[in-house]
Amino acid sequence: MKRRFLFFMALILAGAPLLQNPNLAQAEGKWRGAERRPYYVIDARYDEASTKVTGHLSVKVPVEKEALSQVYFHLYPNAFADWKWGEESKPKQPGYLKVKNVRVDGVQAHNKTKETLLKVDLPTPVHPGKTTQVEMDYELKLPKGGMRLNKYGNTAFLAQWYPMLAVKDREGWHTDPYTTTGDPFYSQMSDFEITFHVPEGYRLITSAKDSPEPVDSEVTLRQANVRDFAAVISKDYEPVQGRAGDVQVNLWYLKGMEDVAQELHQAAISGMEFFGKHFGKYPYQEVDVVLGETGYGIAGMEYPGLVTSLDKIPTRKGERPAVNVVAHELAHQWWYGVVGNNQVKEPWLDEGLTTFSEFLFMSEQMGENEQDLLVKAAERTDRIHEEKGVTSVESLYKYSDPVYGMMVYTRPAAMLWKLADELGKEKVLEILSTYYDRYRFQTATTQDFVQVASEVAGKDLKPFFDHWLYFKDRSMSKKKG
Ligand SMILES: [Zn+2]
């Protein structure tokens, strides 16, 4: 996600109060994504009058390394059933995701839902090398005014909208609860086959390759090797179509956005070309940019093959087309989409790299030099660290919103500018492209990134990253000027 963090920067520079707990995160070992991927088959029927999606979900779960006795799913829409966060972000009407008839390999299975988590007990343990099939019926109620998952006008925004298999790795199951800070989602590469039933005249804009034409009541979409599957069901959007090399780039806009649609579409094409050239090939056929409001405090959001963005964004120089938001969200296709990380545990790893990519693009392609603001804001993080003890490598739950933007987006992006000053920009790009190449379709960690950086630089960069990410050796701050 891209928070409206330029405002936060302004707030921080103005000395707004900060709330935080100290806690040092520990660098953890890596987990390389499973060769065999979960396979989702979903049947989804959208009813506009009730704003519900009902259907059936079946997931083939490959079992690796350890026998499984249970399987966990995230039911993120249940966060909207009984909102536990601020009034300002509370949906106007609640939403939920209910499941029933849970079966494992055809047999009724004991299961329990607790808030956003579903635990399914397997009737018998499933051993490594085998696969188990978990099936269920589900009912999704879209909240009104929800964050990401939302219904407005004749558009349903389906984000984290189906029971999402939790990740199990060497640390065990990751069953982290929802929170409103950052993107509290962590999933692994999966294959999807989804049949949508929609009312007449509706279009589908999704993580798969879509048709620009309205759907004739039913369509089946397939997409392999993605972490998530997002979909926008709409009667209101119109496309601008084009290509960046062999990638189809579609921008979808609503009435009233005509004045910025072409410019943002050009920026999207330019961004896809720029990131592809510097980081490595985008591996899918299509990317969709969907303009619009997607919830409180969200300027844009990334999903595999689909991003959302506001059409315009207020800046210090007045309201302007949201070029930087589009660039930011598209850069996430590389950092989060293809190279994954645990966004709950180490959110800096995708947000920091993405923010750096955004500023690099804005500077080189758009002639915007906002790096001073970035660096100046990042300098404030030393004081935040002194006051609150928080570093740039913490789980989401450790940050308040303004601190999150500064520590997780701004400081790591400023860190990479600094590294480019020291090693040269080409070296930093080589670090990023090597990291992309090595961890494509997998899940990387902070430790993996530091390792790649040191290898490419030909020297131990751990002290540099210890200073910038973990605030160790504070004497270096004095030198950075
Ligand atoms: Zn982001």
- Assess contact for 157 and 163: CB atoms under 8 A: no
**Which of 336, 409, 435, 439 is an active site residue?**
409
Token pair, residue 307, equals 């991003």
- Long-range contacts at 433-437 (CB < 8 A, ≥ 24 apart): 433/278, 433/279, 433/280, 435/339, 436/279, 436/280, 436/334, 436/338, 436/339, 437/280
Task: Judge whether 465 lies within some domain.
Answer: yes
- Asked, for residue 305, whether it belongs to a domain, the answer is no
- Judge whether 186 counts as a catalytic residue: no
In a domain, 379, yes or no: yes
**68 within some domain:** no
pLDDT 10s per residue in the chain (481 long)?
655 544 444 444 443 333 332 222 222 223 334 369 999 999 999 999 999 999 999 999 999 889 999 999 999 999 999 999 999 999 999 999 999 999 999 999 999 999 999 999 999 999 999 999 999 999 999 999 889 999 988 999 999 999 999 999 989 999 999 999 999 999 999 999 999 999 999 999 999 999 888 998 899 999 999 999 999 999 999 999 999 999 999 999 999 999 999 999 999 999 999 999 999 999 999 999 999 988 888 899 999 999 999 999 987 778 999 999 999 999 999 999 999 999 999 999 999 999 999 999 999 999 988 888 888 888 899 999 999 999 999 999 999 988 999 999 999 999 999 999 999 999 999 999 999 999 999 999 999 999 999 999 999 999 999 999 999 976 554 444 3
Ligand 1 centroid distance, CA of 405 (Å): 10
pLDDT in tens, 158-203: 999 999 999 999 899 999 999 999 999 999 999 999 999 999 999 9
Is 409 marked active-site?
Answer: yes
Alpha-carbon distance of 432 to 452, in angstroms, equals: 9
Residue 362 to residue 350: CA distance in whole angstroms: 18
Cα of 298 vs centre of ligand 1, distance in Å, is 10
Cβ 431 vs Cβ 453: under 8 Å = yes
- Nearest Cα to 109, choosing from 88, 136, 80? 136
**First-to-final CA distance of the chain:** 30
Q: Tell whether 211 is covered by a domain.
A: no
- Give the distance (Å) from ligand 1 centre to CA of residue 258: 25
Both tokens of 248, joined, read 């189809």
289 C-alpha vs ligand 1 centroid, how far in Å? 14
Structural contact between residues 330 and 353, judged by C-beta atoms closer than 8 angstroms? no
Q: How far does the centroid of ligand 1 lie from the alpha carbon of residue 144, in Å?
A: 24
CB contact set of 18 (below 8 Å; sequence gap of 6+)? 12, 384, 387, 388, 400, 402, 403
Count of structural domains, the chain:
1
**Alpha-carbon dihedral angle through residues 364, 369, 372, 374, given to the nearest 10 degrees:** -60
Catalytic residue among 135, 286, 302, 329: 329
Closest by Cα among 404, 398, 391 to 467: 391
Ligand 1 center to 215 CA (angstroms) = 31
* Residue 139 marked in a binding site: no
Instruction: Give the strand order in the sheet containing 111-114.
Output: 111-114, 117-126, 68-74, 164-165
Residue 244 lies in a domain: no
Q: Which range of residues forms the domain containing residue 439?
A: 339-480
Cα(318) to centroid of ligand 1, in Å? Answer: 22
CATH number at residue 471: 1.10.390.10
Neighbours of 460 (CB within 10 A): 12
Nearest in space to 245 (alpha carbons), one of 286, 210, 290 = 286
Distance CA 103, CA 122 (A): 9
Measure the CA angle with vertex 66, ends 63 and 69; round to 5°: 75
99: in domain = no
Domain for residue 331, yes or no?
no
> Any known ligand binding at 332?
yes
